[in-house]
Structure formats: structure tokens, C-alpha cells
Amino acid sequence: MYQVYVLHSPSTSSTMWGQTGDLDKRLEFHNHFSEKSCTSKYRPWELQVSIEFEERSQAMRAEKYLKKKPPSFLRRLIIDPALQKHVQERFG
């Protein structure tokens, strides 16, 4: 399984998204192990939402789709299970 995820940094009000095959490991990397990455200065990161896909290619297409959306769409995605399901069905 692969996930597309949305993370939020309460310390800077930043939002980021990505895709991974191991969400727990990826979140741990963003919060603890990436010392010189572009995400390290925005710690801590909190998971807002994740959407599962069977294949990595599906997650990658969904991630690309979400990156083109305005911030208002991502805010709605976080709180709207029907929209999450729509994204999952569209790319799954």
C-alpha cells in the first residue's frame, strides 16, 4: 500500500504533501532524521490526512493532482471524508 499524505507544521503554519510506501517511517524522517532537508526547519510536522492507494503510480498521480490545487482545496480535503474518497476513487 502507498499513501498520499498532507502534513502541517503548527510552528510555522506550513503545509506539505507527498507520497510514500511507509507513512510512519516517512513522518519520523521528516520530524527527526532529516537534519539538512528543506523540511527540517518547519518541525514538528503533524499528519493531517492520508489517502491509501494500491500502487505507487496511483499515489504519484494523486500527489501531482493535489500539488496543483489551491490551499483551500487542501483545507477541505483534510476535513471532508467524501472528498478524500473522491480523490482515492479518481486515481485508484
For the chain, give every domain's residue range: 2-91
C-alpha triplet 4, 15, 89: angle, nearest 5°: 25
Q: Contact, 45 vs 9, CB < 8 A?
A: yes
Name, in order, each residue with C-beta under 8 angstroms of 20's C-beta and a sequence gap of 6 or more.
2, 3, 5, 26, 59
**How far is it, in rounded angstroms, from Cα 53 to Cα 51?**
7
Rg (alpha carbons) of the chain, rounded to whole number:
13
pTM of the model: 0.88
Q: Quick one: CATH architecture of 2-91?
A: 3-Layer(aba) Sandwich (3.40)
Per-residue confidence in pLDDT tens, the chain, 92 aa = 999 999 999 989 888 899 999 999 999 988 887 677 777 888 899 999 999 999 999 999 999 999 999 989 989 999 999 999 999 999 98
